[in-house]
């Protein structure tokens, strides 16, 4: 009978011609998949880094309304404020401390005079003071401020 494990009946032993035809085809099919996956993972990592460093605008809602001007006739102001922060971490920090931020800005608005709010320079000075106040709050509470700017998107004075 002969040895049943003779050379011609070994299924795991494939001819060289099979490997020379099969391997290049497998390589040509697998290589594009590996490249596409590699590039997509790299693009996703870059996208995540961009989200962490891009500016995000956080609106203070509703509009801040307060009286100002000292003694005499009551005067009111209504201001829509947006905070520009760096990344998702800055957005979360600002949202977490929003009541404290609103209080500080409202108290600052209440101390303004009519002469201060009549000029564009006075409004710009108020915006800068607001930035400093909010930045101080974030530094006090978080030890790191990701606040980039404060914007007044609407500024209405009622006399």
Query: Is 2 a member of any domain?
Result: no
Query: Stretch 46-62: mean pLDDT, rounded?
Result: 80
Predicted local confidence at residue 45, as pLDDT: 54
Query: Is 1 a member of any domain?
Result: no
* Nearest 10 degrees: Cα torsion 117, 120, 125, 128: 120
Total count of domains within the chain: 2
Q: Are residues 13 and 78 in the same domain?
A: no
Q: How confident is the model at residue 148 (pLDDT cuts 50, 70, 90)?
A: very high
CATH at 123: 3.30.479.30
What single DSSP character describes residue 9?
Answer: G
Query: Stretch 107-134: mean pLDDT, rounded?
Result: 95
- Looking at per-residue pLDDT, the higher value among 129 and 41 belongs to 129
How many Å apart are CA 83 and CA 99, to the nearest integer? 14
Is residue 104 within 8 A of residue 133, CB to CB? The reply is: yes
Local structure of 65: helix, strand or coil? strand
Per the structure, the complete domain to which residue 28 belongs is given by: 7-51
Q: Are residues 71 and 120 in the same domain?
A: yes
Predicted local confidence at residue 72, as pLDDT: 82
Q: Are residues 45 and 95 in the same domain?
A: no
- Whether pLDDT at 155 is above 60: yes
pLDDT tens across 57-74, in order? 999 999 999 999 878 888
Cα–Cα–Cα angle for 73, 74, 75, nearest 5°?
A: 115
Is the pTM of the predicted complex or chain greater than 0.75? Answer: no
């Amino acid at each position: 009978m002969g040895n049943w494990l003779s050379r011609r009946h070994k299924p795991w032993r494939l001819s060289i011609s099979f490997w020379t035809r099969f391997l290049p085809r497998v390589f040509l099919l697998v290589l594009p998949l590996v490249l596409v996956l590699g590039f997509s993972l790299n693009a996703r990592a870059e996208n995540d880094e961009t989200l962490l460093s891009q500016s995000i605008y956080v609106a203070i809602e509703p509009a801040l309304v307060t009286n100002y001007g000292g003694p005499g006739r009551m005067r009111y102001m209504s201001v829509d404020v947006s905070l520009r922060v760096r990344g998702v971490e800055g957005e979360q920090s600002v949202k977490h401390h929003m009541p404290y931020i609103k209080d500080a800005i409202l108290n600052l608005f209440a101390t303004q005079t009519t002469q201060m709010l009549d000029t564009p320079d006075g409004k710009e000075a108020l915006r800068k003071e607001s930035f400093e106040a909010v930045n101080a709050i974030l530094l006090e509470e978080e030890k790191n401020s990701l606040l980039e700017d404060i914007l007044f998107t609407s500024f209405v004075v009622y006399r």
